Structure 1
Amino acid sequence: MDWSFVSRIVFLIVIGNLSTGNGLVRKCFACRSRGDLGTCRDPFTYNATSVDDSHGVQAVPCASGWCGKFLEGGTSFKDDDYGIATQRLCLQRGPSDSEERCAYTKWNHKEVFMCFCLGDLCNASSRLSNPLLGLISTLLFRFLFGWQ
C-alpha cells in the first residue's frame, strides 16, 4: 500500500473539513458587557489565541456549532448607544431554517438585535472567510500532488 498517497488523502479530508466549517471542535466567544464597560462590544479585538489572556471573554466549546451575538437595551442598537448590552454566546440550536443572519427578535421576552452564525468563533466582529480557506486548500492540494 502506498502510505504517502493515503496520508495525502487524509490531509485533504482534514483541510476540506476546515474549509467547509465542519471541523471537529467548534467554539464560540462567550462574554457580556454594557456600554463602554467590558470587552465584549465592538470593535471586538479577540481571536482564538488572544482570548486566553483576557478576563471576561472566553472561547467555549459549542456542540451545536451555532454562535450568536446580540445587542439588548438602548434605543437605536448603534455602537455609540451607552445603555446597550452586547452578549456573545453559544446557542443550543440554530434557527429553524438553518440560515445565518442578523435580525430583530425576541430573547427572554425582550426585543434584541441578534446575529446567528455557524462556524468556529464566527461571532467575532470579523472572521476568516470560507472562500479564503478554500483557496488555501486548493493551493496545498496542487503543491502536494504537483499539479500546475
Structure 2
Amino acid sequence: MQATVFILTVIIVIFASQTVEITALLRRCYQCRSRGELGSCKDPFIFNSSDVDREPGLTAVPCASGWCGKVIEGGGTYALDDYDLAVQRMCVQRGPDDNMDRCADTMYNYKKVYMCFCQGDLCNSAMTSSWTWPVYLLPLVLLLNKLYL
C-alpha cells in the first residue's frame, strides 16, 4: 500500500513536470521603453502583472500575434557607460518563421540591436528561470517517501 502511494506520487510529479505552460486565450506583452538608468523598462526587470497599474510608463497590452519582444539598443562592447543603452519591450506583429523563442543580434529600424522574441502571456519580462517543476516538488516527494515507506 505504501509503495503504491509512493509510485503514484512519482507518476504525478512526472506528469506535472511535462506540463509546458498554461496559456491564456488573450496573450499580453509588457510595453515600455527606458534609456540608461532612467525608467522601469531596463534590466533587471523587477515587475509582474500586478505592478502594471502602479508603475508609470509600464503597460500590459493585448497582443494578437501572441509574440512579445525585447529590444536592447546601444551599449555595445566599447560603451563606457549605459547612458546610450535603451531597452524596449513590446508586442511584435509576428515571430520567427520557425516559431522558436530566441535572442539574437539583428537590424531593427535601421539600427543594429539585440532582440529577443518569446511567445506567451507577459513573457517579455525577463529571461526564464532554469528551475523546473521536479525541483520544486522534490521536497514533497521526499516527505511522502519518508511518511509512507
TM over 0.5: same fold? yes
Q: Deviations over 1:29-67 (max 9, x none)?
A: 000010011110011111011111010011111111100
Q: How does 1:36-75 map to 2 (within 5 A)?
A: 36-75=37-76
Conserved 8 A contact 1:20-1:130? no
Amino acid at match of 1:57: L
Q: How does 1:75-86 map to 2 (within 5 A)?
A: 75-76=76-77, 81-86=82-87
Q: With structure 1 as the length reference, what TM-score do the two structures score? A: 0.69
Q: How does 1:30-41 map to 2 (within 5 A)?
A: 30-41=31-42
Pairs aligned (count): 119
Amino acid at match of 2:126: S
Stretch moving more, 19-28 or 67-76: 19-28
Q: How does 1:1-148 map to 2 (within 5 A)?
A: 20-76=21-77, 81-127=82-128, 132=133
Percent of aligned pairs with the same amino acid: 53
Q: With structure 2 as the length reference, what TM-score do the two structures score? A: 0.69
Rg larger for? 2
Conserved 8 A contact 1:69-1:115? yes
**Ranges in structure 2 where 5+ consecutive residues have no aligned partner:** 1-18, 138-149
Amino acid at match of 1:54: E
